[in-house]
Amino acid sequence: MTMTIGKLAQRAGVGIETIRFYERKGLIETPLRTASGYRQYSEAVVRRLQFIRRAKELGFTLNEIKELLSLKTSAGVTCASVKQKAEKKIADIDGKLRSLRRMKRALVDLTQTCNGDSSLDECPILNAMDEGGPLE
């Protein structure tokens, strides 16, 4: 059973342009077309798009997702390879969280130095950004 791009988008919970983008990026294969030029997709593409969407929700980039998809079809690859990629993603997320906490501390410190009554020329928040040094 095949379906059009509109039906595929609906079933997979993604937009039509997203499907076309994934085709261009090689995440899904370019589909066969009917004699009238309509793309025809199989049920397997729905599952692949759902996989991509879930992997994105877990923070994987499209390049990382492409790697995960290739692991699924590679002979001799074990679950350990996938686990290693997931652990690397966890480490990346931990780094981003540390960075976000530093940004928040810096912003909290800056907002505490500002009484909100100064002119823009005297704004400690803008001046701190103008100085060019680290804000930590």
If one counts the domains in the chain, the total is: 2
pLDDT, tens digit (0-9, with 9 covering 90-100), for 33-81 = 888 888 899 999 999 999 999 999 999 999 999 999 999 888 888 899 9
Q: Which residues contact 28 (CB under 8 A, 6 or more apart)?
A: 19, 22, 45, 48, 49, 52
Examine residue 136 and state whether it is found in any structural domain, yes or no: no
> Does residue 136 carry a pLDDT above 80?
no
Examine residue 51 and state whether it is found in any structural domain, yes or no: yes
Residue 25: the pLDDT is 95
What domain range includes position 122? Answer: 82-131
